[in-house]
């Protein structure tokens, strides 16, 4: 093997995987989005016709699409800061000690991340239940009437997002914890010698040093919440009246329940563009960052 070819051979397998499962599906979706493909078209390709940009025009005029977009914006606005702040707080607390008790706690906080979503949906569905739910039972003890956690169009997004926040903190806490444990002891000792308080040390030394972890978690969390799907799908199926439908759930309903593959593809291309744009902006912001 000539040494010149070596780098290409090394990146080859990864590139092929990326092209096959990353780039090709996007191109196919972009192609399908210009057609009226439905269930009948799947069986008989001659029944698929090109419709130009009609799917995109219909999408922009579809109130359900805009409702899903607004809902997704709400999920991102509520979910991303909550997940980042809560998991960072948990990681800081878990980092106080490495005793056996704290190691057990660490596993405890990780549990939601590895529990099946269907089991989570069942348990939270019962917790939230208007009539027999534990949460409403506890509220009734202090004289608060039944709250319709998953039935009230105004409240349902918050209830669904809470479950996702609870589920999303575990893994991110572990990422933050790893970053926190990578902070050199010398800096902390130096700060302690200078008489800095614990709060001051955290704010001025620890947090700047785990900036990259915060950046990473923020970017991945934003992407995950832009694709918000699981919790809304299993808890409410997007209801009531579409008030908890995220954009991914909307695409799923159009594509699989409605068999409108062309229309759903158009929506998925829009979602892809939104995610790519948001991520680019975030990475650009990171570029201006100072290296320590």
**3-state SS string over 94-135?**
HCCCCCHHHHHHHHHHHHHHHCCHHHHHHHHHHHHCCCCCHH
Of 192 and 241, CB closest to another protein:
241
Q: How far is the CB of 287 from another protein (least distance, A)?
A: 20
CB 201 within 8 A of CB 272: no
Q: How far is the CB of 78 from another protein (least distance, A)?
A: 14
Of 5 and 39, CB closest to another protein:
39
Q: How far is the CB of 216 from another protein (least distance, A)?
A: 8
Contacts of 246 (CB under 8 A, 6+ apart): 68, 71, 72, 75, 227, 228, 229, 232, 238
Q: How far is the CB of 203 from another protein (least distance, A)?
A: 24
The whole-angstrom separation of Cα 62 and Cα 74 is 19
- Among candidates 78, 103, 58, 86, which has minimal Cα distance to 160? 78
Of 191 and 264, CB closest to another protein:
264
CB 84 within 8 A of CB 214: yes
Of 20 and 181, CB closest to another protein:
20
Of 88 and 251, CB closest to another protein:
251
Q: How far is the CB of 219 from another protein (least distance, A)?
A: 9
- The CA-based dihedral angle spanning residues 258, 260, 263, 267, taken in that order and rounded to the nearest 10 degrees: 50
Of 90 and 191, CB closest to another protein:
90
CA count, 13 A, side-chain hemisphere, 261: 16
Q: How far is the CB of 25 from another protein (least distance, A)?
A: 4
């Amino acid at each position: 093997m000539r040494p010149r070819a070596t780098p290409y051979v090394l990146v080859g397998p990864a590139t092929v995987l990326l092209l096959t499962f990353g780039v090709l599906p996007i191109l196919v979706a972009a192609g399908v989005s210009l057609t009226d493909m439905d269930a009948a078209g799947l069986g008989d390709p001659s029944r698929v016709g090109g419709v130009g940009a009609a799917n995109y025009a219909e999408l922009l005029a579809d109130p359900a699409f805009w409702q899903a977009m607004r809902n997704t914006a709400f999920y991102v606005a509520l979910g991303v800061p909550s997940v980042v702040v809560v998991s960072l707080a948990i990681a800081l607390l878990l980092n106080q000690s490495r005793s056996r008790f704290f190691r057990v706690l660490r596993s405890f906080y990780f549990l939601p991340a590895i529990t099946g979503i269907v089991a989570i949906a069942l348990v939270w569905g019962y917790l939230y239940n208007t009539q027999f739910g534990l949460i409403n039972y506890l509220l009734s003890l202090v004289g608060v009437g039944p709250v319709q956690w998953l039935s009230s169009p105004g409240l349902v997004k918050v209830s669904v997002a809470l479950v996702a926040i609870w589920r999303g903190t575990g893994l991110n806490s572990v990422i933050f914890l790893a970053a926190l444990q990578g902070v050199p002891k010398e800096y902390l000792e130096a700060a302690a010698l200078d008489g800095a308080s614990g709060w001051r040390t955290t704010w001025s030394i620890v947090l700047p040093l785990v900036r990259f972890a915060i950046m990473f978690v923020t970017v991945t969390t934003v992407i995950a919440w832009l694709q918000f799907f699981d919790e809304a799908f299993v808890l409410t199926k997007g209801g009531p009246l579409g008030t908890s439908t995220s954009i991914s759930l909307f695409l799923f309903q159009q594509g699989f329940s409605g068999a409108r593959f062309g229309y759903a593809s158009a929506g998925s291309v829009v979602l892809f563009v939104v995610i790519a744009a948001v991520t680019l902006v975030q990475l650009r912001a990171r570029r201006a960052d100072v290296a320590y």
